[in-house]
């Protein structure tokens, strides 16, 4: 099981996350709820950060797909640009955003003003949850290549490949997203 707040892997029977202290059984109750909650806002009216997903936009090319970072809040998905470079050890390309650890990026996102992010960068795409028809997350299994992630809206379909960072394996990321994204989007999520 993964903490829905920070993504830390926790014991199945743990009541609280050992990394950030989030109460875990509340997250399970939230996930088992049949209806989506009304979006909540912190005291200054900003959207609440919920999940961070590193992806590459599938353009149909074998190489050169643009790196993106998906910030999921309690109301929208913000798709921001990432940058690809060849790793110094020569083992392939990684997104520059992945130079920070996952926890560092999530810590920054907790205080991020997403409206300001979108206003300051015209390339940021905002995908409101109410426009999402379906989001497809792959089932947990061994992956020989980057697993796909698809977001279908009323006006466009976005096809991605999941990226990994640090020492996480694809199956760990898929398992985490299967636990953190459905409570945000409810029945709009398909796991296949």
Q: How does pLDDT run across 92-119, given as a tens digit for each residue?
A: 444 444 456 667 778 888 889 998 989 9
* Nearest partner of 177 among 138, 130, 128, judged by Cα: 138
pTM confidence score: 0.68
At residue 167's C-alpha, the angle toward residues 162 and 168, to 5°, is 40
CATH T-level fold of 33-191: PH-domain like (2.30.29)
Quote the CA–CA distance of 121 and 35 in Å, as a whole number. 34
Quote the CA–CA distance of 181 and 31 in Å, as a whole number. 9
Q: How does pLDDT run across 1-58, given as a tens digit for each residue?
A: 677 766 777 777 776 666 666 667 654 444 444 334 444 444 456 789 999 888 888 8
Are the beta carbons of 14 and 1 closer than 8 angstroms? yes
Strands, E assignment, 66-191? 67-73, 76-81, 84-86, 93-95, 125-128, 132-137, 148-153, 157-162, 189-191
Q: What does the domain layout of the chain look like in residue ranges?
A: 1-32, 33-191
């Amino acid at each position: 099981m993964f903490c829905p707040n920070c993504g830390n892997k926790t014991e199945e029977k743990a009541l609280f996350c050992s990394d950030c202290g989030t109460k875990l059984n509340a997250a399970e109750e939230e996930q088992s709820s049949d209806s989506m909650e009304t979006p909540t806002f912190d005291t200054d009216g900003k959207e609440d950060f919920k999940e961070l997903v590193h992806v590459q936009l599938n353009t149909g090319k074998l190489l050169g797909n643009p790196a993106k970072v998906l910030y999921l809040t309690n109301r929208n998905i913000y798709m921001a640009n990432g940058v690809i470079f060849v790793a110094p050890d020569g083992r392939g390309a990684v997104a520059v955003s992945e130079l920070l650890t996952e926890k560092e990026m999530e810590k920054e996102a907790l205080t991020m003003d997403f409206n300001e992010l979108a206003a300051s960068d015209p390339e940021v795409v905002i995908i409101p949850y109410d426009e999402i028809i379906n989001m497809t997350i792959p089932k947990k299994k061994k992956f020989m290549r980057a697993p796909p992630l698809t977001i279908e809206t009323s006006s466009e379909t976005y096809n991605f490949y999941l990226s990994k960072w640090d020492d996480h394996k694809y199956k760990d990321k898929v398992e985490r997203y299967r636990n953190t994204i459905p409570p945000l989007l409810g029945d709009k999520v398909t796991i296949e």
